[in-house]
Amino acid sequence: MAFESLTDRLAGVFKKLRGHGKLTEADIKAAMREVRMALLEADVNYKVAKDFCAKVSERAMGQEVMESLTPAQQVVKIVNEELVALMGGEEAEKLIVKNKGQTIIMLCGLQGNGKTTHAAKLAKYFIKQGRRPMLVACDIYRPAAIDQLQVVGKQAGAPVFTLDGEKPPVIAKKALAHAKDYGNDIIILDTAGRLQIDEVLMQELVQIKEAVPVDETLLVVDAMAGQDAVNVAKTFNETVGVDGIILTKTDGDTRGGAALSVLAVTGKPIKFQGTGEKLDDLEVFHPSRMAGRILGMGDVLSLIERAQDAADEKAAEETAKRMMENKFDMNDMLAQFAQIRKMGGAGAMLSMMPGMSGIDASQIDEKAFDRIEAMIYSMTKEEREKPSIINPKRKRRIAAGSGTRVEDVNKLLKQFEMMQKMMKQFKKSPKGFARRLGGMMGSPNAFRGLK
């Protein structure tokens, strides 16, 4: 996850502060030096890092903190509040979308930053809200750009408007009339990018905005580009005029400084973040949630939203009922794994849980789920419904059929037995069940060891 190293560094700083009990001015100055270095290493803009630490220092040296019974916690609270302010405040910046008539959104940015894919992600985002988006192919230069937009548009369930032999401003204008005839209320313009900023690209974007009344100009920038992403955003904003940013690859192994710098440098908020390669992997950017993830506090609200999006309510109710009646079997276990996959996998879930953001993705063996599923699929119907009948001979057959070892089958059966015991514990003592469940969720090693 983005910010992983920054999260670890800040956790180290706060741990040292907690070890002091009462804080002195020297303690806070030393801590802020480390915070500033951590921010710079995360590729945060130098002036942004300097101003941020100055604000935190000023507040941390106030009477309220210095005389507090828990000064270290007060400093963490201040850092959290200043991070939220740095990225745009408590409330997420929303797109300007009209309730009546057409809303025109233009995506722009450098080539390779994911404009076309994120045009389709946006379309899917609006389809979920009951809107009728249409994608418009305004990139007439890059080979196969139109074909790519048609492919991802079809995957998203949105029509794609193309027009051969015309310039992008004309294409945009005619797309508007076409959308009106066919009842499309959201028009998403996928414009051409370049490998670097050039005058021709900028001028074409200006001409498109002159040809059609664009409501939102969204700049797509790659989080992995670090400080370069911020410089690109600054140039686009000064030349074309940008209303917001879509920050892509925020799930990657990146230093993440762009998210912390872009608003301060450009004055333009991040409105969306791309969190993966699938068309569903687009989230509204919430500064407060991102701050929580950076500080290792988790992002429970986003986790709940993902769960709600992925949830099959009828299946969930059935599973819950079976749990309460002690009828939970291997088929139910398969269903739970399917839900976890829909939510982005165990690694994505753990990164949003409080205290789990520092976990290295390599610690989560996602392939273990494939092996567990293979073992369950290698069982007979009777074995899935009643695993207690699986004897040594059956174990050898299951291992051979799934390409695993007998030890792996034993490990799976033991974990299943533990889950069944937890179900019984829940019926006897809901509070005791919650404590034990918390202990399991706090262990990223639950499925390690499967070969």
Q: Domain 103-285, what fold?
A: Rossmann fold (3.40.50)
- 355 marked as part of a ligand binding site: no
Q: In what order do the strands lie in the sheet with 186-191?
A: 160-161, 133-138, 186-191, 103-108, 216-222, 244-248, 270-274, 282-284
Question: Quick one: pLDDT band at residue 363, thresholds 50, 70, 90?
Answer: low
Please tell me which residue, 176 or 441, carries the higher pLDDT value: 176
- 190 marked as part of a ligand binding site: yes
- 239 marked as part of a ligand binding site: no
Give residue 350's Cα distance to chain centre.
12
pLDDT over 70 at 304, yes or no: no
Question: Quick one: pLDDT band at residue 125, thresholds 50, 70, 90?
Answer: very high
pLDDT over 50 at 385, yes or no: yes
Pairing between strand 282-284 and 270-274? antiparallel
Report which secondary-structure segment, H or E, holds 188: strand 186-191
pLDDT tens-digit map of 50-73: 999 999 998 888 777 766 667 777
Q: Tell me, what's the pLDDT at 104?
A: 96
Of all residues in the chain, the percent with pLDDT exceeding 90 is: 34
Question: Quick one: pLDDT band at residue 99, thresholds 50, 70, 90?
Answer: confident
Please tell me which residue, 161 or 262, carries the higher pLDDT value: 161
Q: Tell me, what's the pLDDT at 300?
A: 44
Calculate the average pLDDT of the chain. Answer: 80
pLDDT tens-digit map of 429-438: 544 444 444 4
Under a CB-based contact definition with an 8 Å cutoff, are residues 128 and 156 in contact? Answer: no
- 15 marked as part of a ligand binding site: no
- 112 marked as part of a ligand binding site: yes
Of all residues in the chain, the percent with pLDDT exceeding 70 is: 76
- 344 marked as part of a ligand binding site: no
- The torsion angle over the Cα atoms of residues 387, 393, 399 and 405, rounded to 10 degrees, is 110
- 113 marked as part of a ligand binding site: yes
For domain 326-441, the CATH architecture is Orthogonal Bundle (1.10)
pLDDT over 70 at 326, yes or no: no
Question: For residue 199, how many C-alpha atoms fall within 13 Å in the half-sphere facing its CB?
Answer: 0
Q: Tell me, what's the pLDDT at 116?
A: 94
Question: Quick one: pLDDT band at residue 446, thresholds 50, 70, 90?
Answer: very low
- 175 marked as part of a ligand binding site: no
- 248 marked as part of a ligand binding site: yes
Listed residue (328, 303, 286, 357) closest to 84, CA to CA: 286
- 380 marked as part of a ligand binding site: no
pLDDT tens-digit map of 180-201: 999 999 999 999 987 777 788 8
Question: Quick one: pLDDT band at residue 264, thresholds 50, 70, 90?
Answer: confident
Report which secondary-structure segment, H or E, holds 274: strand 270-274
For domain 4-89, the CATH architecture is Up-down Bundle (1.20)
- 192 marked as part of a ligand binding site: yes
- 116 marked as part of a ligand binding site: yes
Find tokens 């992983």 and name the residue: 4
Q: What is the mean pLDDT of residues 6-33?
A: 83
For the chain, give percent helix, strand, coil, nearest 5: 60, 10, 30
Q: Tell me, what's the pLDDT at 89?
A: 82
- 185 marked as part of a ligand binding site: no
Q: What is the mean pLDDT of residues 90-117?
A: 88
Q: Tell me, what's the pLDDT at 252?
A: 58
Joined together, the tokens standing for residue 145 give: 């750009």
In b/e form, how buried is each residue of 399-415, taking b as 16+ CB within 10 angstroms?
Answer: beebebbeebbebbbee
Question: Quick one: pLDDT band at residue 427, thresholds 50, 70, 90?
Answer: low
Under a CB-based contact definition with an 8 Å cutoff, are residues 258 and 221 in contact? Answer: yes
pLDDT tens-digit map of 145-182: 999 999 999 999 999 999 988 999 999 999 999 999 99
What CA–CA distance (Å, rounded) separates 283 from 118? 11
Q: What is the mean pLDDT of residues 417-422?
A: 76
Domains of the chain, residue spans: 4-89, 103-285, 326-441
- 109 marked as part of a ligand binding site: yes
Q: Tell me, what's the pLDDT at 220?
A: 92
Do the domains at 4-89 and 103-285 have one common CATH topology?
Answer: no
330-342 and 406-428 helices, crossing angle to 10°: 90
Bridge-partner residues for 248, per DSSP?
A: 222
What CA–CA distance (Å, rounded) separates 304 from 287? 17
Q: Tell me, what's the pLDDT at 94?
A: 81
Q: Name the CA radius of gyration of the chain, rounded.
A: 26
Highest mean pLDDT among 10-24, 256-270, 398-412: 398-412
